[in-house]
Structure 1
């Protein structure tokens, strides 16, 4: 488990929570408040391992320490189970945005899989509309509290299923109504992006932004397929790209490396990596390098010039926030405010927004750090 930072972490005297942040990789069904799960489970067939919110939160955290992505994903049976009505989806989305705003996030992208929320009778379109309603409510609540935040949806299709093309078409249909991008999620190993080449061809033809979960549990080949078959503009996690970098020698702070063709392409094209330090540790994504947060190749990738961004993945399961993830990295690698600003600028530039809005977001980040 990553070490716990202080309750209100600071860098150079500045509260990390007060700094403007950008969140690119954060799952809706991984960001519920434990008390909300308890309340939504009432009157449903969802059996909870604990009825006390604090105990339930601890259970999710304990279950997520498996070191396996497949085991990690089993906890979502509970969260998706209580998100099967319009009211539940709207509430969860509203609270999701409120919690991001409270953490200093000024722009976020929330990813979720509509196909997993139809058991209560909703259509795919109704589910997307319910989440969008909640997002807009959350933005309004934040505005009333003096915080400004904008959140876009990323629709994820389950890569082990047969509805990927359908979800791709759904995403394009809602591109003017809150949906910013497309993703495939679920068990990575054995379900490469190439399996859904036709859906990605369709999205490319529609000039629709794509990010793909890759390089978390299936190695370098998954990243290759995400770029070639999925035409991914960003890599969901992408940790395994470090396996295509051979460290030839180290002398103090000097590191001599040899890049593989794929790693060089990802670095030179500045393809953003949606890294999630605590989650990557929990799912075993960094097991090739070690079992502590200090073993994460995040710093190596950053120092070598890769476009790294910092994300939470699943705030409930990892008991984390973007502030906490940044604090963990500061503790592990000694980063300062300039480094943290760079991570936010990388994320702002990678956002699935029109270029004018990305530039405005970059200016907002720079102004916030200058203050």
Structure 2
């Protein structure tokens, strides 16, 4: 295996557990991930739901302090909820003690116009992804490409709106995404000036040795901007499997060489559960649909259900989550590596970003360990 693997962690809270335990689990997984040879450990940002990664910038600092080699980053900072200065100063503070290990991932989430998937509704079409057709879900060289999820199916948006109100100052308006990227880069580079042409310097932050990434899930603004600026791009297949391949193609089409990159650098995410055999893995993953349904129904991510006690989803509930279930990669090490290899081949990914959620932390640890061994991570590091 030549493509590095990295981890995206949401610090999920399991049914019957707590946020404090979820944070401890994150630290434990990060330390194991470093031992097992994973390349990066990224933290997602989600608010007012049953995950403990709401303050990804704080959690990033805790993970960096608890590890020594693995790169640590955000996947991604929801820029609509932060000023550019607060982002750069936070990363600069952590970089002061852990220089050269941080990945600053930025995403459009948090902007009013992207709150309910506006980027997806304006996405440009990429090349056809038709090789084999099974119902409405397409298979491209072994990669599942379901129909894009239509966010208009979320009928209750009251919690989304309330969350946005709580996360922004009254009457505050987020900058357009490209403008905020420009501000972040200027603050890091020491070239920032205010609207009144006053030079400001982020301390700490200016000159921080961080790697800047953009995140996206469609062939929309994020992919185009990342390509045009010559920045590395992370495509969220685990969130939007119906459009992520288009996002990769759009990024490559827009890419222009830069001082950062001479050629495109793409990391593609995938939701994965590995166990010793396919049946055990399917059992561990059997409440993933419940969790996705809690998000798409409008209530936000719930505590992760125990598969031994959860009732099956109804047909109506299944229809709301069928794309994510089809694209989840579940099984024995051989089953999972075969599908991940297909994802690498189809996307020409430079890296894969693995996210795994199970009710029991020990099962999540075992999933990442089995995958690391099957992918040859520890052997590659030893070599």
TM range (shorter): 0.3 to 0.5
Please identify which structure carries the higher helix content. Answer: 1
Question: What's the TM-score, normalizing by structure 2?
Answer: 0.43
Question: What's the TM-score, normalizing by structure 1?
Answer: 0.44
